[in-house]
Homo-oligomer: A and B are copies of this chain.
């Protein structure tokens, strides 16, 4: 057993979720306050599930029978209510995952009824504890708990509409559909990484804003993850960071049920999760009886809270589909409705005689206290905040802006501007100028790189590193963990509207983090992705490092802004757009190589997505339109100069963001790309896929439809025909 638990006492402020003034619980407080240091808590190592793992250094807490039968019976009734709400909803939808809710109902009950601090009538109350169901397929667990707790988002009719069109109870938890759900989960491993981001945000904000006499920010982040999440690499990445950062207020419950879709986890998952997490720097506790061991669960949470320098993993051994006589402990209960016959058998087995969707009166009464208690929690915190505001006016104002998401007025004036006389520079360097300028005016801007800070140019020069002993700083060091990085940033973004996380790697390695980027887009997390080395222009590192299809692949993704600025002003414009779009993530594709500042580029232009940067035509009738993005806008620019010398009327259009251009009025689009002009040439050092929509059937798209090569950048551009000469030749063919 690692750190001693004997320091626990009845006066520990973390042991009770409510202050004495608001305690209305119908359960005696002794249940959740008993000391876990009695002799009965000592280790028992015999267990069929132990397999080849060792628990020598894990704490194992066994159940005691302190609580009275009457109380236990109400808890069991509540737990069965959760089980049957899940069973009935899945049955009605004839679709869904009953197994996890049935097995996790006990820990779910303890978390939402005894531990979690929230206000059901204001799911966005700032200082709430965060809960993440990383095993998102078990969402009926969370919907049942939100329902019992009194959230307006999940009423009985919502449970009955589980998985139906436009319901508040979709097939996996979605923060943008269901107030009370913090993040969007389902793709495995994402939730635990989001939880790391939420806990990071708490630790960061607490360090910046808490005062010795007023700890205005103080909440826990809880998470339930299953075997599937544990197998995913993203979970290991994020949990390694959580251990490194010492996120002591992160408590993760590992639903150890030994069943995944393909059957017993024995067929593919025999590692020692405990040992791995100890290696990752976590405190590990094993609750052997997650099915009925309520006191074990309670004691584990107490112990987890007592360990303040490390996150805690509570491995809770459960039976999937608990209560189903013929389907429990098998994959058949994982992802399908039980079927009428087995529902009946389960009702009999658990002694549940109620109609579907019924919540017994005593259970309802018991849970009803959460509405007044939640309101009290929030008003108490509001009073605390009023105190804080009186004493710390400046800090309170900043904190308010982080809570509200309101940007400080005039923030955009901090964006640097450039002229054609400004020396050429790589857009990754220009990006750093923007980040540093913005960090001064945006208190919620924080982020970093996946071990490429000096290449991605993401360091904020006036701040130090966010580390376990300096959590108030804003440079986050993610290590080489792209997928974890993206998901952690989603957690940060969804913690507070005013937090603006950015993260960085080489553009090609978006391939490693695409699962997280897609969830930024889906869950409306306004993460800023700073993606440098955005083409063959990176040169010698070769095809493994040269993005080709990546621009196209993100242009095809819904609700995301793919921005590829060409110079200083466009980089500033890209940042303006990225900061303003708080419910839509942005990807900035930035060059490794130097690019000149072009006449005609502008922040305003970027905001329109596509715009004219130079033109010698009249009457909206150029002979040819040359369209470029990023580093190739310069090529289009120079080709135009040459063509004009030959008397041609040439328009050059920067197409920095397809999505923003799409949103402009038809009149504006016609003013940039007149339908009558079919002579159009695009140039971009990437796949031509998709460009035919812009250049039309008669136009020509110059690009790269093969993998890159290892050589100095200039040579590759030439060999691949990404040249001024190619643009001129194509234009002449079309005019």
Contacts and interface: CB of A to CB of B under 8 A. Distances in A.
Contact of A96 (B479, B511, B540, B707): B540
Contacts of A275: 275-276, 278-279
Contact of A165 (B261, B454, B687, B715): B715
B228 A544 contact: no
A236 B479 CA distance: 15
A611 interface: no
A548 B558 contact: yes
A645 interface: no
Given A165-B716, A518-B511, A481 B231 contact: yes
Nearest to A95: B540
Interface in A244-267: 244, 260-262, 265, 267
A693 interface: yes
A383 interface: no
Given A553-B549, A690-B689, A690-B690, A542 B707 contact: no
A403 B252 CA distance: 48
Interface string A662-695: 0000000000000000100000000101101100
B231 A559 contact: no
B710 A260 contact: no
A119 B194 CA distance: 49
B544 A187 contact: yes
Nearest to A715: B165
A512 B509 contact: no
B268 A279 contact: no
A109 interface: no
A171 to B, nearest CB: 4
A452 B261 contact: yes
Interface residues of A, number: 116
Contact of A710 (B52, B163, B549): B163
A481 B710 contact: no
Given A511-B515, A543-B522, A269 B479 contact: yes
A124 B135 CA distance: 45
Interface string A311-340: 000000000000000000001000000000
A240 interface: yes
A243 interface: yes
B542 A170 contact: yes
A735 interface: no
A166 B708 CA distance: 11
Contact of A451 (B184, B231, B240, B271): B231
A519 interface: yes
B552 A556 contact: yes
Interface string A703-717: 001110111100110
A315 to B, nearest CB: 13
A184 B710 CA distance: 13
A311 to B, nearest CB: 12
A304 interface: no
A429 to B, nearest CB: 17
B262 A451 contact: yes
A474 interface: no
Interface in A442-501: 449, 451-455, 465, 467, 477-484
A472 to B, nearest CB: 16
Contacts of A449: 262
A432 interface: no
A144 interface: no
A233 B279 contact: no
A372 B239 CA distance: 50
A58 to B, nearest CB: 11
Interface string A123-167: 000000000000010000000000000000000000000011111
A687 B559 CA distance: 12
A539 interface: yes
Contacts of A709: 165-166, 170
A426 interface: no
A24 to B, nearest CB: 36
A272 interface: yes
A557 interface: yes
A705 B171 contact: no
Given A237-B233, A549-B553, A687-B556, A187 B512 contact: yes
A554 to B, nearest CB: 8
Interface in A269-297: 269-281
Nearest to A542: B171
Contact of A549 (B277, B483, B556): B556
B269 A279 contact: no
A234 B231 contact: no
Contacts of A553: 549, 552-553, 556-557
A509 B187 contact: yes
A186 interface: yes
A97 to B, nearest CB: 10
Contact of A231 (B232, B267, B479): B479
A716 B163 CA distance: 12
A301 interface: no
A444 to B, nearest CB: 22
Contacts of A482: 232
A521 B136 CA distance: 32
Contacts of A540: 93, 95-96, 163, 171
Which of A260, A276, A556 gathers most chain B CB within 10 Å? Answer: A556
Given A269-B240, A689-B555, A483 B233 contact: yes
A307 B478 CA distance: 35
Contact of A544 (B172, B477, B483, B698): B172
Nearest to A719: B165
A281 B136 CA distance: 28
Contacts of A236: 233, 236-237
A219 interface: no
Closest 10 CB pairs of A and B: A233-B233, A275-B279, A268-B479, A170-B710, A186-B544, A276-B279, A553-B553, A556-B689, A549-B556, A165-B711
5 contacts: A170-B543, A172-B542, A187-B511, A511-B514, A522-B543
Given A231-B480, A549-B558, 13 more contacts: A163-B542, A163-B712, A171-B541, A174-B543, A186-B545, A232-B481, A233-B237, A244-B269, A272-B278, A509-B515, A522-B707, A553-B556, A693-B693
